[in-house]
Amino acid sequence: MQDIPTYADVEAAAERLQGHAHRTPVMRSRTADALLGAQLFFKAENFQRMGAFKFRGAFNALSRFTPEQRKRGVITFSSGNHAQATALAARILEIPALIVMPEDAPAAKAAATRGYGAEVVTYNRYEANREELTSRLAAERGMTLIPPYDHADIIAGQGTAAKELFEEAGELDYFFVCLGGGGLLSGCALAARALAPNCKIYGVEPEAGDDGRQSLLKGERVKIEVPRTIADGAQTQELGELTFAILQRDVTAVVTATDAQLVEAMRFYAERMKMVVEPTGCLSFAGARHGGIDVRGARVGILISGGNVDLTRFAELVAGSSARLS
Amino acid sequence: MQDIPTYADVEAAAERLQGHAHRTPVMRSRTADALLGAQLFFKAENFQRMGAFKFRGAFNALSRFTPEQRKRGVITFSSGNHAQATALAARILEIPALIVMPEDAPAAKAAATRGYGAEVVTYNRYEANREELTSRLAAERGMTLIPPYDHADIIAGQGTAAKELFEEAGELDYFFVCLGGGGLLSGCALAARALAPNCKIYGVEPEAGDDGRQSLLKGERVKIEVPRTIADGAQTQELGELTFAILQRDVTAVVTATDAQLVEAMRFYAERMKMVVEPTGCLSFAGARHGGIDVRGARVGILISGGNVDLTRFAELVAGSSARLS
């Protein structure tokens, strides 16, 4: 296992991101405050470049490449926001990028990734082993693999979102973060532990895919089947080694949210806060609202991870009558 | 006619609004910049309290009431954002509020206005004269009438949005503002003239309701039929006396946008900037993009007026295939 990153790594990442990542706004809503009887501070990473926090980690990791690594390029596997984040960071830093995607990934995602100038290789997810394919391509081309979450530079980069939140909002009593593979949550936990030692930190994952909760309860990583949930960014089967180690040490607990609760949060964001948030990005608020934690009277941080949702799908989900859950 | 307000009135309004109105963020988008070949600064009043800039003017006007006026209350006519803004400002300042609305106004708007504690009186718009009814009720109850736009305190309050934008973005070469009755545009023009004397200021109104453009060309106020447009906040028939006087003096020109261009802007905001913007709020960006002004290489301010659109309607408009224009 790599060494666990520290808050000093988050600070170094913040310097590298200066002028490249947006310092996203912290949004407030009196309606949300009234709903939970608390003061809520929403860190809106849906307004980040390419629409999600993932740009932070990818840019941080790629900006640490040696000249030799830069020349040979980066490779990763992802059908989601990490693919676009890696492609965009690579374009900015003039590094060749190769993204391995399942051939049934949404055409728009592959197109967006190619639009940033990355090469896309597809595979049949029922026949090919993604890790093997990626490793083989990495070896053949001498490319550096930057995985979506289980990497110290990725974790440190994602933690800069929480660093900005605490700098702007001050002390918080509770902090809810969306949880998939754990890159965002572990990075944010590093920042929270340093800047607000008494803050209780919760990961929120889909009820249908509660491998994080199971893992913390069991004391070892639990692997599950690909969960059926509208939170496509949290359809991970297993935490990473590094992210699990940080979660075990720094996170208070993991709570879950149902798809219906995610849709409720999406509607709230659109109707009351005028924001487009993707289903996965709704986990944190849904967990704060329904996760069984009594936050009344407290100062609460809510990390919104991203806003990349197909507009037709978004319309279906928020329009109500025609909402179709997967 | 009342005296024309000055930038000093905008500054005084800003002090009154301190701690009550949100200082809304200025959003950036590299995609939008690339689209227009310019640097765009979006002042996002869709994130203002109650979802639109209207809170600024209403709160400013009501906070200037004498103790006697406060006791007797405020009355206004509006089926839109000014109704909710007046109701909310009145609740905060503990002033009774009476809102005169057409009986066929959307139920949600009347409910939201009542939700803020205001009394709502409805009238049949084909039988009753709104102004007469409002004047009669004002006289009977001794209430002070605060109209939606043609009032010095309303204009000064709306101008605080532009004051914040120029303070944050610095000098701008062009500034596009949504135009209905002219309260927002005239207030913003006062601020722009003081803070950026060389900035060209454009009002943007619906193509189907170009009374503002006609009025500036003719040199007198032109009254039109209620225009058919999805920009319901700009379905005004005529500028105000005060707002017209300021527009004549300070505004470079008025350009127009079609409903299809407004929908295109709504989609862009949702898809690329993750924001919900109401059709009227899309006027400024649509005008900057399609209004025939060459903004390439320039620094451009875009004032987004609000985000209050029914979610079902929003979904219809942005989902594309099912978009139904009025």
Using 50, 70 and 90 to split pLDDT, how confident is the model at A109? confident
Residue B279: predicted pLDDT: 97
pLDDT tens per residue, range B19-34: 999 999 999 999 999 9
From the list A27, A276, A312, the residue facing B47 with the nearest CB is A27
Return the beta strands (E) in chain B as ranges: 26-27, 39-44, 74-77, 97-102, 119-123, 144-145, 174-178, 200-206, 253-257, 299-304
Whether pLDDT at B103 is above 50: yes
Whether pLDDT at A321 is above 50: no
The catalytic position among A157, A183, A209, A307 is: A209
Which residue would you say has higher pLDDT here, A124 or A98? A98
Residues of A within 8 A of B25 (CB-CB) are 25
Q: Does the interface predicted TM-score (ipTM) exceed 0.85?
A: yes
Give me the count of residues in chain B.
Answer: 326
State the amino acid at position A164 in one-letter form. Answer: E
Q: Has this prediction a pTM greater than 0.90? A: yes
In sequence order, the 6+-apart residues with CB closer than 8 A to the CB of A167 are A195
Which position has the token pair 């009438």? B145
Cβ separation B275–A275 shorter than 8 A: yes
Q: How many helices (H) and strands (E) does chain A have?
A: 14, 10
pLDDT tens per residue, range B34-74: 999 999 999 999 999 999 999 999 999 999 999 999 999 99
Whether pLDDT at A320 is above 80: no
Using 50, 70 and 90 to split pLDDT, how confident is the model at B78? confident
Whether pLDDT at B326 is above 70: no
B79 carries an active-site annotation? yes
Whether residue B57 contacts residue B157, with contact meaning beta carbons closer than 8 Å, is answered with yes
Q: List C-alpha distances in Å: B84 to B49, B58, B80, B88, B145.
A: 10, 9, 7, 6, 15
**What's the mean pLDDT in A262-289?**
97
**What's the mean pLDDT in A87-111?**
91
Dihedrals phi, psi of A173, to nearest 5 degrees: -90, -35
pLDDT tens per residue, range B236-260: 999 999 999 999 999 999 999 999 9
Of B17, B21, B32, the closest CA to residue B275 belongs to: B32
Whether pLDDT at A104 is above 90: no
Sheet with A26-27: list strands edge to edge: A26-27, A39-44, A299-304, A174-178, A200-206, A253-257
A305 carries an active-site annotation? yes
Whether residue B172 contacts residue B297, with contact meaning beta carbons closer than 8 Å, is answered with no
d(CA B54, CA B207): 23
d(CA B64, CA B56): 13
Cβ separation B320–A311 shorter than 8 A: yes
Please tell me if residue B277 touches chain A, with a CB cutoff of 8 Å: yes
Mean of all residue pLDDT scores within chain A: 94
Whether residue B73 contacts residue B95, with contact meaning beta carbons closer than 8 Å, is answered with yes
Residue A322: predicted pLDDT: 42
Whether pLDDT at B200 is above 50: yes
Question: How close does chain A come to B23, measured CA to CA in Å?
Answer: 11
Please tell me if residue A314 touches chain B, with a CB cutoff of 8 Å: yes
Read off the tokens for B34. 């690339």
**What's the mean pLDDT in A253-267?**
98
Residue B321: predicted pLDDT: 47
**B137-145 long-range contacts, Cβ below 8 Å, gap at least 24?**
B137/B75, B137/B98, B137/B100, B138/B75, B141/B72, B141/B73, B141/B75, B141/B98, B142/B72, B143/B72, B143/B73, B143/B74, B143/B75, B143/B96, B143/B98, B144/B65, B144/B69, B144/B72, B144/B73, B144/B74, B144/B75, B145/B74, B145/B75, B145/B76
pLDDT tens per residue, range A155-170: 999 999 999 999 999 9
In sequence order, the 6+-apart residues with CB closer than 8 A to the CB of B141 are B72, B73, B75, B98
Our measurement of the distance from residue B46's CA atom to the centroid of its chain's CA atoms, rounded to an integer in Å, reads: 11
Whether pLDDT at A31 is above 80: yes
Which residue would you say has higher pLDDT here, A249 or A132? A249
From the list A25, A275, A315, the residue facing B315 with the nearest CB is A315
Residue A127: predicted pLDDT: 80
A215 carries an active-site annotation? no
Using 50, 70 and 90 to split pLDDT, how confident is the model at B324? very low
Question: How close does chain A come to B117, measured CA to CA in Å?
Answer: 15
Whether pLDDT at A326 is above 80: no
pLDDT tens per residue, range A237-258: 999 999 999 999 999 999 999 9
Residue B314: predicted pLDDT: 94
In sequence order, the 6+-apart residues with CB closer than 8 A to the CB of A265 are A257, A277, A282, A285, A286, A289
Whether residue B318 contacts residue A311, with contact meaning beta carbons closer than 8 Å, is answered with yes
Mean of all residue pLDDT scores within chain B: 94
With a pLDDT cut of 70, the percent of chain A lying above it is: 98
Of B193, B247, B216, the closest CA to residue B6 belongs to: B193
From the list A46, A274, A320, the residue facing B307 with the nearest CB is A274
Residue A107: predicted pLDDT: 79
Whether residue B235 contacts residue B227, with contact meaning beta carbons closer than 8 Å, is answered with yes
Using 50, 70 and 90 to split pLDDT, how confident is the model at A106? confident
Question: How close does chain B come to A84, measured CA to CA in Å?
Answer: 14
Please tell me if residue A198 touches chain B, with a CB cutoff of 8 Å: no
A211 carries an active-site annotation? yes
Whether pLDDT at B288 is above 90: yes
Task: Check the CA dihedral A65-A67-A69-A75 and report its sign.
Answer: positive
In sequence order, the 6+-apart residues with CB closer than 8 A to the CB of A220 are none
Domains annotated for chain A, with CATH where assigned, are: 7-52+155-318 (3.40.50.1100), 55-145 (3.40.50.1100)
A310 carries an active-site annotation? no
**What's the mean pLDDT in B170-194?**
97
Whether residue B283 contacts residue B202, with contact meaning beta carbons closer than 8 Å, is answered with no
Residue B105: predicted pLDDT: 80
Read off the tokens for A312. 């037709």
Residues of A within 8 A of B315 (CB-CB) are 314-316, 318-319
Residue A79: predicted pLDDT: 78
From the list B273, B311, B316, the residue facing A270 with the nearest CB is B311
Residue B325: predicted pLDDT: 46
The angle, 0 to 180 degrees and rounded to 10, between the axes of the packed helices B183-195 and B241-250 is: 40
Sheet with B119-123: list strands edge to edge: B119-123, B97-102, B74-77, B144-145
**What's the mean pLDDT in B95-103?**
94
Read off the tokens for A98. 């190769």
SS3 A251: coil
**Cα-based torsion angle of the residue sequence A213, A214, A220, A221 in order, rounded to the nearest 10 degrees:** -80
Residue A260: predicted pLDDT: 97
Question: How close does chain A come to B226, measured CA to CA in Å?
Answer: 27
pLDDT tens per residue, range A150-203: 999 999 999 999 999 999 999 999 999 999 999 999 999 999 999 999 999 999
pLDDT tens per residue, range B105-155: 877 788 889 999 999 999 987 888 888 899 999 999 999 999 999 999 999
A-B CB pairs within 8 A amount to 64
In sequence order, the 6+-apart residues with CB closer than 8 A to the CB of B248 are B216, B219
Whether residue B96 contacts residue B73, with contact meaning beta carbons closer than 8 Å, is answered with yes
d(CA A52, CA A278): 9
In sequence order, the 6+-apart residues with CB closer than 8 A to the CB of B275 are A274, A275, A276, B27, B44, B46, B269, B304, B307
Read off the tokens for B19. 């701690």
Which residue would you say has higher pLDDT here, B268 or B2? B268
What is the radius of gyration, based on Cα positions, of chain B?
18
